[in-house]
Structure 1
């Protein structure tokens, strides 16, 4: 989430007049994320999330996302529900942008998820894949076909002139030339509706003295139809690496880079996922390449955003170099890495944990 389009109190109040959600008490922008403008609304009837769709979003595809969230919610997945205005529309216009109000989910994200949270998100991802069955397809606009275009566009923005930036672009280009020919054919693996952005900040948890549980999944606006295992690869990238200093303090390991890989977390993600949807042998064999692709996708979009984000946008820019290190890690893995027991397969030939 982020804020590219600032709103006034009067604009928000006028927009709310079309809904049965009570009177506006307060609102604030949400700076996390990189794509759309998001606001937390407090009204006399509760809290809600207002999203204005920006940049990479095709307005013609917005009904698909809203249908997906409605379907998943109806099938038991805790996710935001689009709220209709008094005319029955869930999609409206505000400040010249398409906008939607969705329900607010309780809970908080975990910046440093442990193995329990990784197991829970693996299970939730499998539930999402099962609940999405039977829905019409939407192409992945940030799939392999888009990566060369993104890489080329990265050089067009401001701030891309540094030697470090140029070296990262060159490294991505070399990796891409090896990755694309190895990418699975569309019919090679099971496909379905995927979240495609299931990072820790898009998953909420609740806990008290008696219970700890995953309370919700948010931000479905990258969702699309693709390999189900590609979604799993995104989670392995997003949930199973830690900043090197934090990981070293717990594990006694060492790393020269920004991040360190945690095989125990990867094992937990896979255990949670396969408790509901066991992987086919072909999916397991494809995971090393899919993990490289997931790292490449976020490396390229972060690289692009690093130089193209407007300076006045309320956005937390994400580090592309951390995903270069993930890419290097997965490129070093044996092709059989996920066909072995995870704690064994994700170590190097000497039995040591592979550091990114």
Structure 2
């Protein structure tokens, strides 16, 4: 079986390569029309070019799995500052998509924690729809709208989990069907367990992105090995193998926070469960050291018996 590993957003090994340069609304309001345009254009161009730099870095280091920054376009969804970012930067979006397809990479987005569909406040759902549309529009500009996933959490509980889930069921269908086809749902570390998230996924036909660290912090009653058949089944009919998230706790006290690297001892039970199941998987490393943590973890894993490193971010078991 093949395990591919990737990382989130920024390649720390590259100099000045943040894909998340921003312009706050407060800063934007202080500027005149031309200065606003100049600042927005400059930040967006740098973010897109940094994304390209990260992709080429990944290709050079054999890393096939990559999550793009959700902050590529500053103020893209702010109701007072929305602007046409697709027309002036269409060539860069297209170049990103061309590179992804040419080298067989797997990319995704993960909107922030405020993009939820469980709220009873209509404006929060409207904002979530706007944010999901923004992510989809970028994938479409890249030509990746049928393959790139947009991963979200179920959302909050608001004192009544059953009612919140029913609101999710009601609100998520307000999202355009073409966007819903690209959704994956992830279990979280406080509220919705993997089993609860799986139930929702199966009801809506969404694949689940299983987060091992979150499951460790918020496990429910199920063991990983018992969940894997349903996790893999949720990906049936989709073009990609299942994706998982992997990180380890920062400390005993801050056990929900991500550490700089992934502790092999912490991660090994999860890896062994995947190996016992015996099917290929993509694993997103969510460590603070990003690309460096990913390459380090793959190197450590490859030092174990039965694990052979095929590339920078790829292991054969």
Fold match (TM-score > 0.5): no
Q: TM-score, normalised by structure 2?
A: 0.28
Q: TM-score, normalised by structure 1?
A: 0.26
